[in-house]
A = this chain, B = another copy of it.
Amino acid sequence: MTRETAIDSRQEILRTAARLFQQQGYDATSMNDVAAALKLSKGGLYHHFQSKDEILFNLMDHALDITQARVIDAVRGVADPGERLRMLIRRHIEVVLSVRDREITVMLHENHPLPPTMRRRINARKKEYVHFMENLIAEVQRSRQSKGVVSPRAAAFALLGMINWIYQWYKPEGTLREEQLAREYTEIFFAGALQ
């Protein structure tokens, strides 16, 4: 097998597993279910992933790679901190609403307990993202000579909550569309957290 095929298979396994976990619940989905959905032998599946925990860990890690690439790396080049934050909000909402990646990124909120080393790595990466937001918010507050009514930490968690909650209620056919949502959430956050 070439290296490229190997990578493709892993991605395909992760995507299929994510879909099954969401349809049936993580615990109710067995390694057999995953193998069957992929028309793989159980041995073929275990060649890539030793356990369901390892699949979940890799899904979460991949969701964080997506966030890193589409949000953090995408905004780093923007010089003005206010514009950088505006772009972060828009990009993060895009990731949450992306049809292609939703199955994977939603897995970040799966609360099945992972083995300690895996859990520590995921939590460390989640914390890195919170710190990135917190530092950016502090930078924007300084650049606007904000009165500091809201701490960057509470502001970062408020913003994460607003955005990460979207998958709980958003319907693409609903009255509130992505464009309006991004604009109004940006309004709320800029007027509310940067005073």
Interface residues of A (CB under 8 A from B): 22-28, 109, 111-113, 130, 149-151, 153-155, 157-158, 160-166, 168-169, 175-176, 180-181, 184-185, 187-193, 195
Contacts and interface: CB of A to CB of B under 8 A. Distances in A.
Nearest to A28: B27
SS class, residues of chain A in contact with chain B? helix
A125 to B, nearest CB: 14
B109 A188 contact: no
Contact of A162 (B23, B111, B158, B180): B158
Contacts of A158: 162, 184-185, 188
11 contacts: A27-B27, A149-B187, A150-B188, A153-B175, A157-B176, A161-B161, A165-B165, A188-B192, A189-B192, A191-B191, A192-B193
Contacts of A23: 113
A24 to B, nearest CB: 8
A160 B155 contact: no
Contact of A192 (B26, B151, B153, B187): B187
B195 A187 contact: yes
A181 B164 contact: no
Nearest to A106: B111
Given A25-B112, A161-B165, A188 B189 contact: yes
A165 B160 contact: yes
Given A149-B187, A150-B184, A187-B195, 8 more contacts: A25-B113, A26-B27, A151-B176, A157-B165, A157-B166, A158-B184, A191-B195, A192-B192
